[in-house]
């Protein structure tokens, strides 16, 4: 992502609180857009990352879902690792 940091905010469905994520990388796989993100509140070590899938229905508002399906997560993690060798993803 060329060294620039962007953020995305999601609403926690359980608490209703807004959670901020820093976008580390973006890939497109099978016509779907995926974001590799870390929590904004984490310290500099940031060793836990998440993958979000863009499930937007239109261009007016971006909607993302946490990828929690192991098969989909592992498939997309491989694309992130192949796309950028600056980080490793444990699957």
pLDDT value at residue 84? 65
Q: Is the residue at 75 inside a domain? A: yes
Q: Is the residue at 13 inside a domain? A: yes
Nearest to 42, CA basis, from 19, 8, 64: 19
26 near 37, Cβ under 8 Å?
no
Tell me the residue range of the domain where 60 lies.
6-83
pLDDT value at residue 1? 46
Q: What is the pTM of this model?
A: 0.78
Q: Is the residue at 47 inside a domain? A: yes
Average pLDDT per 10 consecutive residues for the chain, totaling 91 residues = 67 86 92 91 68 88 89 91 68 61
Q: Is the residue at 15 inside a domain? A: yes
9 alpha carbon, distance to own chain's centre: 11
């Amino acid at each position: 992502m060329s060294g620039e940091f962007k953020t995305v905010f999601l609403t926690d469905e359980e608490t209703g609180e807004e959670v901020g994520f820093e976008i580390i990388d973006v890939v497109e796989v099978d016509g779907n857009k995926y974001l590799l993100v870390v929590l904004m509140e984490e310290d500099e070590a940031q060793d836990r990352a998440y993958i979000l899938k863009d499930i937007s229905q239109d261009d007016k508002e971006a909607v993302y879902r946490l990828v929690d399906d192991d098969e989909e997560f592992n498939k997309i993690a491989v694309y992130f690792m192949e796309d950028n060798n600056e980080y490793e993803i444990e699957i």
